[in-house]
Amino acid sequence: MAFWFGKSTAVKELEEILAELQSNLENNYKDAAQAALAKLKIRTEELRGSLKEKEYKRFSVLCTEYSVKMTGYHH
């Protein structure tokens, strides 16, 4: 496990979900990647109050970018 000095628990959680998403994409686990993206979107919104505005925007943009990248990404 990596060390996140100075990062909030919310950011750590979102980064772990993002790492899961990236790993699933790299391994071509399409269903798992879609599930991780959905989880990232939901948790980003749920944790919005715990994130700084800059952090929230970062994860929102990542959700959008992955959504576009993964359009039509299924079996």
**Could you read off the pLDDT tens digit of each residue along the chain, which spans 75 residues?**
444 456 789 999 999 999 999 999 999 999 999 999 999 999 999 999 999 999 999 999 999 999 999 988 765
- Choose among 31, 5, 32, 6: nearest CA to 20: 32
* All structural domains of the chain with their residue ranges: 9-69
C-alpha torsion 39→45→49→51, nearest 10 = 60
What is the distance in angstroms between the CA of the first residue and the CA of the last residue of the chain?
31
Residues in contact with 64: Cβ distance below 8 Å, sequence separation at least 6, in sequence order: none
pTM, two decimal places:
0.87
Q: What phi, psi does 16 have (nearest 5°)?
A: -65, -40
